[in-house]
Structure 1
Amino acid sequence: MKQFFFFITILCSLQLLGQSNTALFNEANELYNKGKYAEAIDKYRAILDHDVHSSELYFNLANANYKLNNIAPSIYYYEKALQLDPNDEDIKNNLAFAQNMTIDAIDNIPEVGLNKFINNTVRLYHTDIWAYISVVGVICFVMLFLMYHFSYETRKKRTAFVFSLVAISIAVLSLSSAFYRNALNKKDRPAIVFAKESKVKSEPNVRSEESFRLHEGTKLQVIDTIGNWSEIKLADGKTGWISNQDIKMLKP
């Protein structure tokens, strides 16, 4: 009985929390429409403190920061919104406007050839989807193999054999794609520079030689972390070490 009442209490608390977050979101939107962007940001962030995440919340939070010319936070929250809704054109357009405020001009080295084809193909689906396709392929293979084994007609046996090979090939390729997509996800560790100006070092210590400087809003990839330093890589291929205090990760 006590467990039942505890469960009901949790449900009621969650419902009240949801209503509270909705009220906060509406209040924040009203403040934004009135041009009170700093107050709106406080309301949006209060919702985040409740561990509530949505593309709309991040998008509005980014817009409010953009209105105040907060370069790094606006880009950061647009990127967070894009992670949850990667096909939203409004998010992409606003992100492009925010990126125009950054100082660093970094050329993006495009992927080419077979590597580009493989990566684009693997990125079509998430790891779980590739895994499901692989399972379906295995099931189809087993059914077709049994059909081949128990069939007495030559034509049916030949057809079942050919399609069983196709099914097992799809299963193997899908499983490989699942592992490769998982590896890409682990490798993808984006971050945004939040410091006004940050010195990128050749080694993970303050006494090492300065390689170059980065400014707020620049997006980078974190390759490795040692103590209070992160090894980074830019879109143009440059690498170096930056203080962890100067960046904010886009993924947990």
Structure 2
Amino acid sequence: MIDRIKVRLFLGILFSCFFGSLMAQNTDLAEGDSLFLEQKYTEAYDKYRALFQNDQASAAMLLKMAFIQDGLGNYTEALYFLDKYYRMSADRNVVGKIGELSEANDLSGYSYDDTDYFLALLEKYQLHFTLLLSAIMIMLSVYIFQKSKDKEKPIAAGIIQLIVILCLFAVLNMKAPPKAIVVSNNTLLRSGPSAGAEPIDMLSKGHKVKVLKRDEVWTQILWDGREVYVRNGKLRLI
């Protein structure tokens, strides 16, 4: 009896914390949206940024953050949030704005192809795909179990289940390759992960680059077909 009370108490606390956090998030978002509508953009951005830092961003919120930063002339931040928005929403309409900003500032790395769109769709509907494939897998498992009890060998069902498992694995693990935006002007690219390595090129802020690997100090990126290194503080991962 005591154990049951403890379990119920624990579940009650867990649900209270979850819904309390959700309500607080909705309150902060509503306050931010209200400030945005009142054109108090700086105050709205502060509300949005706090939510973003806590991994509580919505697609609409990211678009508003990009709008605010674009209005302030911070094109690097605007591109960052627009790219995050595209990855979350798979909204191709935003690609034109990204292209406009990148061309106006002579920046590279902002081309989007069908693979990028597919990965964005996958990220947007990952939960839906996961639930659907999991449900199919469970139904197939029950079917195979019943057939096995009847001394039958449902080979076709077993093959389909294997395919479903592989699809589920792909949905859970397939992600866009890591990329980053250069956030500082006069960012020096070097041939190796060392301050004494040969300088290769110098970039202005705003370029988007493909990340190959990263340690505590240096990030290896792909630039102009070459593998080069840049200090971590000069990049912002997307």
SS in 2 for 1:207: coil
- Provide Cα deviations, 1:12-34, integer angstroms capped at 9, x if missing partner: 676355324312321123226xx
- Is contact 1:137-1:168 (8 Å) kept? no
Give the direction of change, closer, same or farther, for the CA distance of 1:173–1:26 in structure 2 (3 Å limit). same
Query: Offset of 1:217 from its aligned partner?
Result: 2.1
Map 1:140-219; keep pairs closer than 5 Å.
Answer: 142=144, 145-146=147-148, 149=151, 164-185=154-175, 188-219=177-208
5+ residue gaps in structure 2?
none
Query: Offset of 1:229 from its aligned partner?
Result: 0.4
Does 2:104 align with 1:101?
yes
- Provide Cα deviations, 1:138-162, integer angstroms capped at 9, x if missing partner: 4276168549856xxxxxxxxxx7x
Give the direction of change, closer, same or farther, for the CA distance of 1:79–1:110 in structure 2 (3 Å limit). closer
5+ residue gaps in structure 1?
151-160
Letter paired with 2:27: Q
- Provide Cα deviations, 1:117-157, integer angstroms capped at 9, x if missing partner: xx98xx6974836862772584276168549856xxxxxxx
- Provide Cα deviations, 1:159-208, integer angstroms capped at 9, x if missing partner: xx7xx4443333223333444555543x7222221112311111011111
What does residue 137 of structure 2 align with?
A: 135
Q: TM-score, normalised by structure 2?
A: 0.70
The number of equivalent residue pairs is: 223
Query: Offset of 1:224 from its aligned partner?
Result: 1.4
What does residue 78 of structure 1 align with?
A: 82
1:220 is aligned, of 209, 216, 228, to: 209
- Is contact 2:178-2:211 (8 Å) kept? yes
Distance 2:135 2:106 in 1: 44
Distance 1:47 1:28 in 2: 15
What does residue 243 of structure 1 align with?
A: 231
Map 1:35-50; keep pairs closer than 5 Å.
Answer: 37-48=41-52
Aligned residues with identical type, % of pairs: 18
- Is contact 1:194-1:216 (8 Å) kept? yes
More contact order relative to length (CA 8 Å, sep ≥ 6): 1
Q: TM-score, normalised by structure 1?
A: 0.67
Tell me the C-alpha RMSD between the 2 structures: 4.1
Give the direction of change, closer, same or farther, for the CA distance of 1:20–1:233 in structure 2 (3 Å limit). same
Does 2:58 align with 1:54?
yes
What does residue 94 of structure 2 align with?
A: 91
Distance 2:103 2:42 in 1: 22
Distance 1:172 1:249 in 2: 35
Q: Which has the larger radius of gyration?
A: 1
